[in-house]
C-alpha cells in the first residue's frame, strides 16, 4: 500500500524526522538518505492535500517577472535545524543587511543560541512552521513581481523530496507570516517539480537549470507529473515570466545535479563557473556545458556572456570522482551588499575570496566555514533563501565593455523602474576612484529605457561608473547596489603610435572541427588587446555572416560559428585584427 505524502509525517520513521539542534547534527542530507530511499517507493504525492494549504494553483493573470538573487531584498530565510554554527554566522552577517527570518518550532532555542554567541536578535524574526530539513534553498518560495516591479508574490514548486512533506509546506508558512500571495504548482496541468538549487534567473526572463528538471517532471519521479520540455517551459512562463529556459547536461559526479554547486549568476551578463584541473571529476562536462551556453545563447541584452572562473577545490587531495566531498565556492549567496562564500580551512579559500571580491567590487565578501555541511552535498546557498523587496527600485544595466573609441561618448543604458515612476536618473563616472565622481543625467528615451553619455576619454584610460535613480515617492537606489564603493568599469584601449601597433601580433589557431556541421570553434591568440572583426565568407568572397566584431583580450580567445544550416562546401573565415587580415579555409559537410 502506498501512503499519501501529507499523511506520512504522522507515522513515519522518527529517525528521519527527529530534530536535534546541536552543531554537529548532520540532519537530512540534500540527497535522499538510505532510510528515505526505503520509504520512497511506498509514498504517493497527494496533490489535493497539497493544494488545500497553499492557495492559488492557477497562473497569475498579470504579467510577472522572477527576481534575480542580486536584487534588493527585504529579508533572508533559514531553517533552524542542522548546522546551527553555520546558521548563526549567516544570521550574524545577514541581519545587518535585512530582516532575517528563521523557520523553527522553538523560537526560544533560536534566540538563546544567538544571544549566547553575541548575536543581536533585533532584526531577527522567527516563523513557527513544520519542517524536515535545513535545505531551504530547495523548498523555499520564489520571488515574483507583477508587472516587473509592482506587488511581490511567491511561487512554490513541488519539492522533489517526496519523503519530506513538512519541507514542502514551509513556503505556505512564509507567505502567511508575511501576508503575501502565493501561487503553487501542485495541480495538473500545472503540477511542476523543481528545486531552488537547480534554478537561477537573470531577472530579465532567462533561467538556467540542469536537465534534472526534465527527469523530475516524469512519472518515474513519483509526483504525478508527466511534462514535455515545452510544457515545462510553458509553466515557467505562465507562473514566473521565464521566456528562455536554458537546460544543461547533468554532471556525472554531482549526485544532486543542482547547478549552484558549480555555477553562479553574478549579474545580467556574468556567469561564475567552477573550474577543475584539466580532465578531473566533473571538469569536462562543466566545460562542455559552458561552451554550449556561450555558443548558443547571448545575454538578454544581446551581448556575449562574461565568464569568471573560480577553482573547484579538492577534499584533502581527493575529488568527487573518487572519495572526496563536492567542495565548491560557487555555492554562495547575495544578501544585499554582503556575499557569503563557503570556505573549508584550505589554502584555496584565500584565492576564492579574492576572485569573489574582484568580480563583485564593493561587496562585503565573507567566508563562512562549511566543512560541516559539505559532506551532505550542500553549502551556504543550499541553506538560505532571499525574500524580495516589497517595493523595489529596479535598475537593470547593460554594462559598458572595453572600447577603442576615443572620439565619441560612451552611452550607458539601463532599465529603471518603480511603481511610483522615476523622478530622476544619474550616471556617475570617474577615471580615478580616489577622486570624486562626476555626474551626467540619464534620460528616459522610451518605456523605462534610460540612457546617459560618459564623455570620450583618451586611450589608456580606465573608466569607473555607477547609476543612481530616485523614484517619484523619493525612494533611491544605486547599481551596483554597493556604489559608490562598488562600480562598473571599462577600459579605453588603443595604441599610442604606429610603432606600438607593429609590435602586436595575432595568430588564428586550427579551426575545429573542420570539416564542420554545427558548432565550430575559431581560436585566436593575440599578444595584446586588439580590435577585431571575424567574418564568414562564401567561395565567391561574399560575406554571409559576421561572427564577431569588437575587442579581443590579450592571450587566448575563442569564437564560435554555427554551420548547422550552411550548405555543404568551401567557406573562408576572415579575421581583420590590428590592421592585419588573416584568412583560413573552412569545409562544411
- What total number of domains does the chain contain? 3
| DSSP of 254-276 | -TT--GGGTEEEEETTEEEEEEP
Q: Residue 432's CB: how many other CB atoms inside 10 A?
A: 10
CA pair distance 222, 195, nearest whole angstrom: 15
| 348, 370, 388 - which closes a domain | 388
Q: Do 78 and 175 reside in the same domain of the chain?
A: yes
Domain interval for residue 570:
503-588
| Inter-residue contact 512 to 570 (CB < 8 Å) | no
- The stretch 431-453 carries a mean pLDDT of 93
Q: Do 149 and 34 reside in the same domain of the chain?
A: yes
pLDDT tier, 38 (very low <50, low <70, confident <90, very high otherwise)? low
CA pair distance 65, 267, nearest whole angstrom: 16
Q: Which helix (H) or strand (E) holds 39?
A: helix 34-39
Using alpha carbons, list the distances in angstroms from residue 486 to 264, 359, 360, 463, 489.
19, 10, 7, 13, 10
- The stretch 481-488 carries a mean pLDDT of 97
Q: Do 40 and 189 reside in the same domain of the chain?
A: yes
CATH number where 582 lies: 2.60.40.1930
Residue 496 lies in a domain: no
Higher pLDDT, 14 or 481: 481
Tell me the average pLDDT of the chain.
89
CATH number where 112 lies: 3.75.10.10
Residue 580 lies in a domain: yes
What 3-state DSSP class applies to 342? strand
pTM: 0.81
| 491, 525, 541 - which closes a domain | 491
Residue 227 lies in a domain: yes
| 443, 459, 491 - which closes a domain | 491
- The stretch 409-419 carries a mean pLDDT of 94
Residue 497 lies in a domain: no
Q: Do 330 and 290 reside in the same domain of the chain?
A: yes
pLDDT tier, 568 (very low <50, low <70, confident <90, very high otherwise)? confident
Q: pLDDT tens digit string along 354-408?
A: 999 999 999 999 999 999 999 999 999 999 999 999 999 999 999 999 988 888 8
Q: Please report the pLDDT score of residue 49 as a whole number.
A: 56
Q: Do 419 and 347 reside in the same domain of the chain?
A: no
Q: Do 188 and 336 reside in the same domain of the chain?
A: yes
- The stretch 45-49 carries a mean pLDDT of 57
Residue 166 lies in a domain: yes
Q: Do 96 and 181 reside in the same domain of the chain?
A: yes
Q: Please report the pLDDT score of residue 586 as a whole number.
A: 87
pLDDT tier, 24 (very low <50, low <70, confident <90, very high otherwise)? low
Residue 145 lies in a domain: yes
* Torsion sign across C-alpha atoms 387, 51, 204, 135: positive
pLDDT at 43 over 70: no
Amino acid at each position: 500500500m502506498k501512503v499519501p505524502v501529507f499523511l506520512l509525517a504522522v507515522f513515519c520513521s522518527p529517525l528521519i524526522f527527529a530534530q536535534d539542534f546541536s552543531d554537529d547534527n548532520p540532519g537530512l542530507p540534500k540527497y535522499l538518505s538510505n532510510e528515505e530511499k526505503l520509504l520512497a517507493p511506498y509514498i504517493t504525492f497527494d496533490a489535493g492535500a497539497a493544494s488545500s494549504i497553499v492557495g492559488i494553483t492557477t497562473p497569475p493573470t498579470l504579467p510577472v517577472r522572477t527576481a534575480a538573487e542580486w536584487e534588493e531584498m527585504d529579508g533572508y530565510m533559514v531553517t533552524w535545524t542542522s548546522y546551527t554554527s553555520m546558521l548563526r554566522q549567516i544570521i550574524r552577517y545577514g541581519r545587518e543587511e535585512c530582516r532575517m527570518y528563521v523557520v523553527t518550532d522553538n523560537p526560544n532555542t533560536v534566540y538563546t543560541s544567538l544571544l549566547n554567541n553575541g548575536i543581536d536578535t533585533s532584526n531577527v524574526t522567527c516563523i513557527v512552521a513544520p519542517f524536515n530539513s535545513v535545505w531551504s534553498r530547495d523548498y523555499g518560495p520564489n520571488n515574483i513581481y507583477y508587472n516587473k516591479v509592482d506587488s511581490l508574490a511567491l511561487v512554490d514548486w513541488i519539492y522533489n523530496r517526496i519523503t519530506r512533506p513538512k519541507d514542502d509546506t514551509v513556503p505556505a508558512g512564509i507567505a502567511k507570516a508575511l501576508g503575501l500571495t502565493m501561487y503553487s504548482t501542485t495541480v495538473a496541468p500545472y503540477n511542476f517539480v523543481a528545486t531552488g538549487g537547480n534554478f537561477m534567473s537573470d531577472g530579465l526572463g532567462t533561467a538556467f537549470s540542469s536537465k534534472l528538471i526534465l527527469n523530475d517532471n516524469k512519472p518515474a519521479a513519483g509526483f504525478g507529473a508527466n511534462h514535455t520540455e515545452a510544457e515545462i517551459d510553458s509553466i515557467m512562463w505562465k507562473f514566473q515570466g521565464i521566456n528562455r529556459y536554458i537546460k544543461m547536461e547533468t554532471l556525472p559526479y554531482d549526485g544532486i545535479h543542482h547547478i549552484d554547486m558549480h555555477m553562479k549568476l553574478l549579474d545580467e551578463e556574468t556567469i561564475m563557473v567552477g573550474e577543475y584541473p584539466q580532465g578531473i571529476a566533473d571538469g569536462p562536462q562543466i566545460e562542455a556545458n559552458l561552451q554550449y551556453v556561450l555558443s548558443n545563447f547571448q545575454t538578454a541584452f544581446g551581448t556575449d556572456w562574461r565568464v569568471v572562473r573560480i577553482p573547484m577545490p579538492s577534499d584533502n587531495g581527493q575529488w568527487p570522482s573518487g572519495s572526496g566531498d563536492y567542495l565548491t565556492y560557487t555555492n554562495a549567496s547575495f544578501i544585499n551588499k554582503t556575499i557569503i562564500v563557503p570556505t573549508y580551512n584550505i589554502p584555496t579559500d584565500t584565492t576564492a575570496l579574492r576572485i569573489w571580491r574582484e568580480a563583485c567590487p564593493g561587496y562585503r565578501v565573507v567566508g563562512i566555514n562549511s566543512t560541516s555541511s559539505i559532506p551532505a552535498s550542500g553549502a551556504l546557498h543550499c541553506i538560505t533563501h532571499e525574500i524580495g523587496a516589497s517595493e523595489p527600485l529596479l535598475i537593470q544595466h547593460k554594462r559598458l565593455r572595453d572600447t577603442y573609441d576615443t572620439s565619441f561618448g560612451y552611452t550607458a543604458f539601463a532599465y529603471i523602474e518603480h511603481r511610483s515612476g522615476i523622478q530622476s536618473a544619474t550616471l556617475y563616472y570617474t577615471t580615478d576612484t580616489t577622486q570624486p565622481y562626476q555626474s551626467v543625467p540619464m534620460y528616459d528615451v522610451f518605456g523605462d529605457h534610460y540612457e546617459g553619455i560618459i564623455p570620450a576619454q583618451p586611450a589608456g584610460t580606465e573608466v569607473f561608473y555607477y547609476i543612481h535613480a530616485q523614484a517619484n515617492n523619493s525612494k533611491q537606489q544605486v547599481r551596483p547596489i554597493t556604489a559608490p564603493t562598488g562600480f562598473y568599469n571599462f577600459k579605453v584601449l588603443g595604441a599610442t603610435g604606429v610603432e606600438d601597433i607593429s609590435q602586436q601580433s595575432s595568430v588564428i589557431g586550427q579551426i575545429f572541427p573542420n570539416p564542420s556541421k554545427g558548432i565550430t570553434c575559431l581560436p585566436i591568440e593575440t599578444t595584446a588587446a586588439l580590435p577585431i572583426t571575424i567574418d564568414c565568407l562564401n567561395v565567391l568572397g561574399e560575406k554571409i555572416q559576421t561572427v564577431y566584431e569588437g575587442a579581443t583580450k590579450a592571450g587566448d580567445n575563442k569564437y564560435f560559428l554555427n554551420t548547422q544550416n550552411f550548405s555543404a562546401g568551401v567557406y573562408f573565415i576572415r579575421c581583420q585584427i590590428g590592421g592585419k587580415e588573416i584568412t583560413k579555409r573552412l569545409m562544411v559537410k
